[in-house]
Structure 1
Amino acid sequence: MEPVLAANADLAWMLAAFVFVLLMFPGLAFYYGGMVGARNVLNIMTMVMSTLGITAVLYVLFGYGLVHGETAGGLGIIGNPTGYFGLTDFMADDESGSVQTLYFAAWFILFAAITIAIVASGAAGRMKFSAWLIFAPIWLILVYFPVAHWVFAPDGFLLNTIKIHDYAGGTAVHMNSGVAALALAVVLGTRRRRGERPHNVPMAILGGGILWFGWFGFNGSCALGASFLTQVVVLNTLLSGCAGMIGYCIVERWREGHVTSLGMITGAVAGLVGITPSANTMNPLGALMVGLLASAVVAFLMSFKSRIPVDDSLDAFAVHGVGGIVGTLCIVLFAAESAPAGVKGILFGGPIDILWRELAGIVITCGYSFVVTWLIAKALDKTIGLRVDTETEIEGLDPTLHAESAYEIPSAGVGHGGLSGMSPARAAEAVEGALPSPSPTAATT
């Protein structure tokens, strides 16, 4: 995606969409925060929000060059890191009221930051925060920036050589983050409280709703302006999220015998993930099919979660990794030539080569992300150590790592003395005891 000149209306929409995407960070923080135990809420929310600061610094220094700079050696693997140092070349105002490169630098900062934020799923409740602050920038440099160059740069090899279709980041954002979360979880091992239920389901639902709101900006901004394409993409984003709720509930009712509110919002997110790579290739019926299939596959996979030895705590691999794969394969099957992208799926008589191209994009992205993430995590684990000690994990990361508690409990039932004066262990016990577990859901954390 390259910056293009546009009218003031286009710039107004893009700035509004930027704010929508920015809101996805507190949305993801609430979504993840509601699904962990009461003693790890602030930790996971801090991990999510910290990605904004880390990514912004890297992008301004050299990240924009690595992703969007002239490809090194003409191979389409990585850009020139020195080409846009400090973004100083973008400071001239052409006074046209257009969408300019400076805006796109800010826009892509958010795309990169939300990707690494999703990876936090694989570390919830057991990773040192100091180790996260080291892992995140290394992962961005070695994993996200190269994969983003393959997909978002005009001369990236997935886009230019293999010619995959990925509208808004099914590969670089969703598959990449989902598979990376899985690799990180493999290195960290399972939590000692793996069966712990979500402590605040309404909070998770609120976070999921905010994510949905932000998704209209995430997908809509990739239309690069206010246009007919924007209208199609926004409608398809709505429809796929709605169908996602239905698809998840159908499978949940079939597999578990009941429908849960957490399952419903998880289904919506899975549908949104599925439509991200395919939003400009689908007509409305196709968007409904994407949402139904992506969420149904995710729900079916989640029903086996307790039998899987890897503890991807907040299900990033299932929702983002698998959801992104299903959404990409839906392009192969259901893409409608009448949609703005003009891609024709196999079921509508499209060329068979679309299958191997999209499969190649899936295999290359997932394989690279898993292997390099595992190597990064393993190297850090052998040197600085990734996981907190047993006592810290049992007491909770909020009181031990951050000296905070998400909830203030009245002392002895009188007044609002809260947790002041208590030891971290006693404070954790007070919080846990005051917050009963919600009813069982299909997706435990």
Structure 2
Amino acid sequence: MAGKLSPIPFVLLILVVIATFILPSVPSAMGAHEISAADTAWMLTSTALVLIMTPGLAFFYGGMVSRKNVLSTMLQSFICMAIVAVIWVVFGFSLAFGESIGGFVGNPLTFFMMRGVIDGAPWPGAPTIPLLLFAMFQLKFAIIAPALITGAFAERIRFTSYILFICLFFAFIYAPLAHATWHPDGLLMRFGVLDFAGGTVVHMSAGWAALASALFLKRRYDANHNPAHIPYVMLGTGLLWFGWFGFNAGSALGSGELAVVALATTTTASGAAALAWIFFDAARGKKPSAMGTCIGAVVGLVAITPAAGFVTIPHSIAIGVIAAVISNLVVEWRTRTTLDDTLDVFPCHGVGGMVGMVLTGVFATNAINPVVEVSNGLVYGEAKLFLVQSAALVIVSIFAFFGSWILLKITDMISPLRVTEQEELAGLDISQHDESL
């Protein structure tokens, strides 16, 4: 294995040739569309905020693993920023937002190599910002989704195999879900599913892929370890919380009142979840901990993501509390099983995303969001949205779990996913990267 040449440099060289000579892009005169400077400024800021979440996730996960796996775990997040950015430009944006093929996925040639994006008409749901800015904003979501999965198989996956898997995950799981949920012609969009900022597209897809990965790779040889550096976890939580304002408030796709509501609900849900987590721990005789506070805050951020632009502030607090208690219980259940989800990605991101999706159907109100047609939730006496959200949860769960399992099998056939016992015990920092703290 070590003596073989990697095909990646040759692939990149071919892409450079295509971009430079075969597809010369000479945009027509820009400025023909009604672009809002204020909305553009906010979305530029939001795009940067969402990107900082991935380094934040690297610190969040890196602080939780054992010392011999800190660098490898953090690199798994960082490499997503490089890989997905290239895929997105080539055909990824097209798969997610290109001309719809049956409502399931986009035509990969629609925006191939960003053709027609620089001077293209704004996205219908974001009419006041340039199409290119919309594309770059959505790219940051596509980057963090596969990075979230890494916590489930931390400390035992081969790095080169991981790269192949996230490429497949993006193309066959993430992009179809993004298209189905956020494209005007998408299946879930037409079905009436509400997902303001990625509860389905990002967190449920990553959560179910994490569960599939943990089951597929099985337990670590030594599953007992102490977190390497809890201050890293706290730093990562701060960066995630900070970036999440771009994640949720940016999903308003403008700088108006809806963005303010999403920012407010994000703040309160995460705060309420952090408190609920440590209070629930205390009720069961545990001491309040830095780890618990951080995990609770992130669970609240996950749960409010699909609902941020559809619910009131008091209801956002309820969502945070409910999600924290349920995720805490699932984490406790997981510890009593043989499931080795290293950093509890499924109990926190997967379950948190599902709770948020269902509670969107409970608490959503059409008084909050004037941009899209919103049915009232269950607490307002209407059951339609709740049933739609619940049905979508089942459909997406089946697709994401079994789809990810198939991709894991394919990846393992091409390049073994699991490191050897000796490599795992030595630590992935040394065995995969020849580096150490």
Counterparts of 1:91 and 1:176 in 2: how far apart (Å)? 30
Shift of 1:63: 1.0
Is 1:216 aligned to residue 250 of structure 2? no
Shift of 1:381: 2.0
Counterparts of 1:374 and 1:198 in 2: how far apart (Å)? 28
Q: Which amino acid aligns with 2:72?
A: N
1:84-126 Cα deviation digits (max 9, x unpaired): 111121233899x951111111111110110010011122000
Is 1:149 aligned to residue 179 of structure 2? yes
Is 1:90 aligned to residue 117 of structure 2? yes
- Retained in 2: the 8 A contact 1:255–1:303? no
Shift of 1:179: 0.6
Normalising by the residue count of structure 1, what TM-score does the alignment of the two structures yield? 0.87
Aligned equivalent of 1:371, options 402, 425, 428: 402
Normalising by the residue count of structure 2, what TM-score does the alignment of the two structures yield? 0.88
Q: Which residue is 2:149 aligned to?
A: 119
Q: Secondary structure at the match of 2:67?
A: coil
Aligned equivalent of 2:80, options 51, 54, 68: 51
Q: Which residue is 1:102 aligned to?
A: 132
Counterparts of 2:209 and 2:106 in 1: how far apart (Å)? 22
Q: How does 1:343-422 map to 2 (within 5 A)?
A: 343-350=375-382, 352-406=383-437
Is 1:260 aligned to residue 255 of structure 2? no
- Retained in 2: the 8 A contact 1:5–1:100? no
Q: Which residue is 2:303 aligned to?
A: 274
Q: Which residue is 2:8 aligned to?
A: none
Counterparts of 1:317 and 1:22 in 2: how far apart (Å)? 22
Aligned equivalent of 2:271, options 239, 242, 260: 242
User: For residues 6 and 288 of structure 1, do their structure 2 counterparts lie closer, same or farther at Cα, with a shift above 3 Å needed?
Assistant: farther
| Structure 2: gaps of 5 or more residues | 1-32
Aligned equivalent of 2:206, options 170, 174, 177: 177
Q: Which residue is 1:79 aligned to?
A: 106
Counterparts of 1:310 and 1:93 in 2: how far apart (Å)? 48
1:370-401 Cα deviation digits (max 9, x unpaired): 10111111222234211110111001010121
1:272-298 Cα deviation digits (max 9, x unpaired): 111100011211100111111111111
Q: Secondary structure at the match of 1:40?
A: helix
Q: Which residue is 1:420 aligned to?
A: none
| Structure 1: gaps of 5 or more residues | 407-445
Aligned equivalent of 1:69, options 65, 73, 98: 98
User: For residues 337 and 68 of structure 1, do their structure 2 counterparts lie closer, same or farther at Cα, with a shift above 3 Å needed?
Assistant: closer
User: For residues 256 and 402 of structure 1, do their structure 2 counterparts lie closer, same or farther at Cα, with a shift above 3 Å needed?
Assistant: farther
Counterparts of 1:284 and 1:343 in 2: how far apart (Å)? 18
Q: Which amino acid aligns with 2:139?
A: I
Counterparts of 2:254 and 2:181 in 1: how far apart (Å)? 20
Counterparts of 2:100 and 2:143 in 1: how far apart (Å)? 22
Q: Which residue is 2:164 aligned to?
A: 134
- Aligned-pair identity (%): 35
1:272-325 Cα deviation digits (max 9, x unpaired): 111100011211100111111111111111122321222111111111110011
Is 1:322 aligned to residue 351 of structure 2? yes
Aligned equivalent of 2:189, options 150, 153, 159: 159
**Structure 1 vs Structure 2 CA RMSD:** 1.7
Q: Secondary structure at the match of 1:122?
A: coil
Shift of 1:50: 0.6
The worse-fitting range, judged by mean Cα deviation, of 397-406 and 262-271 is 397-406
Is 1:38 aligned to residue 62 of structure 2? no
Q: Which amino acid aligns with 2:225?
A: E
Q: Secondary structure at the match of 1:54?
A: helix
Counterparts of 2:128 and 2:358 in 1: how far apart (Å)? 35
Counterparts of 2:119 and 2:356 in 1: how far apart (Å)? 39
User: For residues 391 and 277 of structure 1, do their structure 2 counterparts lie closer, same or farther at Cα, with a shift above 3 Å needed?
Assistant: same
The worse-fitting range, judged by mean Cα deviation, of 376-385 and 222-231 is 376-385
Q: Secondary structure at the match of 2:150?
A: helix
User: Aligned residues, how many?
Assistant: 398
Shift of 1:58: 1.1
Q: Secondary structure at the match of 1:52?
A: helix
Counterparts of 2:138 and 2:247 in 1: how far apart (Å)? 10
1:16-49 Cα deviation digits (max 9, x unpaired): 1111111111100000000000000000111111
User: For residues 83 and 337 of structure 1, do their structure 2 counterparts lie closer, same or farther at Cα, with a shift above 3 Å needed?
Assistant: closer
Q: Which amino acid aligns with 2:380?
A: F
Q: Which residue is 1:432 aligned to?
A: none
Counterparts of 1:5 and 1:29 in 2: how far apart (Å)? 38
